Amino acid sequence: MSGRRSRSRQSSGISEDQINDLIIKLQQLLPELRNSRRSDKVSASRVLQETCSYIRNLHREVDDLSERLSELLANTDTAQAALIRSLLTQ
Amino acid sequence: MASLISDTEPPSHLHPTSTDLVRRKKRLSVSSSSASSSLTTGDGDSHARWRSEKQQRNYSAKLIQALRQVRLSSSSAAAATSSPPPTAQKRGKAVREAADRALAVSARGRTLWSRAILSNRIKLKFRKQKRQRPAAIPAVITTGSSSSSSGGRSKKRRVTVAKLNKKSIPTVNRKVRVLGRLVPGCKKESVPVILEEATDYIQALEMQVRAMKSLAELLSGSDLAPQRG
């Protein structure tokens, strides 16, 4: 691994180790790959693939939630009064 | 930048309730986020940043303010213009944009994606005007080239960049490019920048999802309360 650094100079001069570190950090964020933390076994491309699909999932969740919230906000005219009431009862 | 959201004050009769609401929402989010913040220890700087109680409180307060403005603007716009009432999709998009804006503001401008989100809102207004201009310019260029190369040798100047990317750049780089298109504002950045932005963006999105989910549950739970006629 240390030989790679001198041989393959990336165009911007960033070492592969740095990129690998970043990818490992990314892997620990993903819920899918977090449990099996055998960083050698999971390839970088797999991590990136999971990251893309995870971000798309999160986007979709946010869209669904915002639609739901918009309906809720539109329905309850006195949404603030209702919120305060519910906060008080809790 | 925080003044962007709180600039337009809600009507006066709502004002006392708004501060109460913000305070009470803060208390509630503290209790709900204490469970989530105890889950992960401060692994890195970003981990602690997006999971702290303070951040959660900050975001929920901004979210509520932004959402309230969405509600007010949509109701006032429907009354002012003669257009049909906003469809569910438009309202949902407005909510999503407000939530994204609140999220970007609570990032305090340290990350690329947050700055891109905030600047995009301003750029959208100018983008609509700009679209007509570049359409006129290529027309001028093509007429100029056809007149100059009278031999009829109209070569295509555009090199298909997609082809270059697929073969010469390895798989990892290609996937990082795809990832860069998903994260706002990172389409043309270098690989390590994209990766770092992605880690921060994912955590911010998770916090956004959590906050909106709890807010939605709160609102739907209050449906049982009696409504004023």
* pLDDT confidence of residue A84: 66
Q: Scan for tokens 């401060």, then name that residue.
A: B42
Q: How far A50 CA lies from chain B's nearest CA (Å)?
A: 10
Q: Which residues of chain B are within 8 Å of residue A78 when distances are taken between CB atoms?
A: 227-228
CB contacts under 8 A, B 6-35 vs A, are: 14, 17-18, 20-21, 24-25, 27-28
ipTM of the complex: 0.72
Residue A16 has pLDDT above 50, yes or no: yes
CB-CB under 8 Å, A44 with B95: no
Please give the average per-residue pLDDT across B65-89, as a whole number. Answer: 58
> Which among A73, A75, A77, A90 is the top mutation candidate for probing chain B, defined by the most B β-carbons within 10 Å of its own β-carbon?
A73
Q: Does B217 touch chain A (CB under 8 A)?
A: no
Residues 6+ apart with CB under 8 A from A14: B190, B191, B192
Q: How far A82 CA lies from chain B's nearest CA (Å)?
A: 6
DSSP per-residue letters across B75-90: HHHHHHS-SPPPPHHH
Residue B173 has pLDDT above 60, yes or no: yes
Alpha carbon distance, N-terminus to C-terminus of chain B: 39
Structure tokens at B115: 């700055």
Q: Report how far residue B34's alpha carbon sits from residue B132's, in angstroms, rounded to the nearest whole number.
A: 51
Most confidently modeled range among B84-88, B122-126, B158-162: B122-126
The secondary structure element, H or E, covering residue A79 is helix A79-89
Q: Are the C-beta atoms of A65 and B209 separated by less than 8 Å?
A: yes
Structure tokens at B214: 């709890």
**Domains defined for chain A, CATH in brackets:** 16-89 (4.10.280)
Q: How far A79 CA lies from chain B's nearest CA (Å)?
A: 8
Structure tokens at A57: 């999932």
* pLDDT confidence of residue B150: 44
Using a CB cutoff of 8 Å and minimum separation of 24, what contacts does B150-157 make? none
**Digit-coded pLDDT (tens) for A40-73:** 567 888 888 889 999 999 999 999 988 887 777 7
Q: Report how far residue A33's alpha carbon sits from residue B172's, in angstroms, rounded to the nearest whole number.
A: 17
Q: Report how far residue B132's alpha carbon sits from residue A26's, in angstroms, rounded to the nearest whole number.
A: 41
CB-CB under 8 Å, A84 with B21: yes
Q: Measured between CB atoms, which of B14, B21, B44 is closest to A25?
A: B44
Q: Scan for tokens 């962007």, then name that residue.
A: B4
Q: Does B228 touch chain A (CB under 8 A)?
A: yes
Alpha-helical regions (H) of B38-131? 45-51, 53-80, 88-106, 112-130
Q: Report how far residue B229's alpha carbon sits from residue B226's, in angstroms, rounded to the nearest whole number.
A: 9
**Digit-coded pLDDT (tens) for B127-162:** 665 555 554 444 444 444 444 444 444 455 555 455
